[in-house]
Amino acid sequence: VVLGIYPQHSKRFLRSLIKERLLEAKHSGPRLCIDLSMTNHMSKKELSRLAGQIRRLYGSNKKADRPFWIYLTGFTTDSPLYEECLRMNDGFSSYLLDRTEEDCFSLFPLETLVYLTPDSDHALENVDLNKVYILGGLVDESIQKKVTFQKAQEHSVKTARLPIQEYMVKCQNGKNYHSEILTINQVFDILSTYFETQNWPEALKKGVSSRKGYVLRNSVE
């Protein structure tokens, strides 16, 4: 009843609740960097896709009961990506996250960093509040794997991949297509769901669609 009488009040209340949760995450939540230092050679179309993924990721984080604190690193205000984010993402300049021109590798102690890349030998086991997780801001699937893995190795930073191989199996599909490469917002949905549920199958189901050629193990047994 109250919501019906005070629709504005409820919206305002929700906004302040979201703000409170996000600012709490800044001090005590899990941390995630989107590494945007590799966008120089992107086409306008790729930049638009990346800006859209950032919008969806931020939207998911706002809805989370236990949000992450997000850093957009290697992100300059005179870059085409910044302009694209402003153009495409309503209210982008007031997003509650950190934007910095600094590289993620100089922003945090290297031993706290974990670069999430499909090429890693290590499956991510949990989300650790003492670590900072990095996602490479790339949309070109052909280069995404190699580039992020090599970058982490150059800086002697730990890497991890999502435990897709541990909890999912390849399923038959027309094109015989199987890919573990996900968009940054899909990876985030998995991390966020895992952090809230502590359940990898549930989290992976959220971000890995059957179009990727993978299904949960128990769904085929």
pLDDT in tens, 132-175: 999 999 886 555 558 888 999 999 999 999 998 888 787 776 66
Question: Would you kindly state where each structural domain of the chain is located, as residue ranges?
Answer: 2-162
- Residue 180 pLDDT exceeds 90: no
Q: What average pLDDT does this structure show over 107-117?
A: 96
- The model's pLDDT over 18-64, given as tens digits with 9 standing for 90+, comes to 999 999 999 999 999 999 999 988 899 999 999 999 999 999 999 99
Q: What average pLDDT does this structure show over 173-181?
A: 65
DSSP state letters, 113-156: EEEE-TT-SSBP----TTSEEEEE----HHHHHHHHHHHHHHTT
Residues 6+ apart with CB under 8 A from 45: none
Give the span between the Cα atoms of 113 and 140, in whole angstroms: 23
Chain position carrying tokens 């302040």: 16
**pLDDT above 70 as % of the chain:** 87
At residue 210 the predicted structure's pLDDT band, cuts being 50, 70 and 90, is confident
Give the span between the Cα atoms of 176 and 201, in whole angstroms: 23
- What pLDDT was estimated at residue 208? 82
Q: Do residues 194 and 203 touch, judged by C-beta distance below 8 A?
A: yes
pTM equals 0.88
Burial class (CB in 10 A: 0-12, 13-18, 19+), 25: buried
User: CA dihedral defined by 176, 194, 31, 23, rounded to 10 degrees?
Assistant: 130
User: CA dihedral defined by 111, 26, 51, 189, rounded to 10 degrees?
Assistant: 80
Q: Alpha carbon of 75 to those of 39, 78, 85, 91: distances in Å?
A: 9, 9, 11, 17
Q: How far from chain centre, in Å, is Cα 213?
A: 21
Q: What average pLDDT does this structure show over 205-221?
A: 73
- Residue 110 pLDDT exceeds 60: yes
- Residue 105 pLDDT exceeds 50: yes
Give the span between the Cα atoms of 128 and 108, in whole angstroms: 15
- Residue 82 pLDDT exceeds 70: yes
Q: What average pLDDT does this structure show over 194-220?
A: 83
- pLDDT: is 12 or 134 the higher one? 134
- From the CB of residue 47, how many other CB atoms can be counted at a distance below 10 Å? 22
Q: What angle do CA 42, 212, 44 make, to 5 degrees?
A: 15
- Residue 5 pLDDT exceeds 90: no
Strand partners, 72: 34, 99
Q: What is the mean pLDDT of the chain?
A: 88
Answer whether CATH 3.40.1280.30 is correct for domain 2-162. Answer: yes
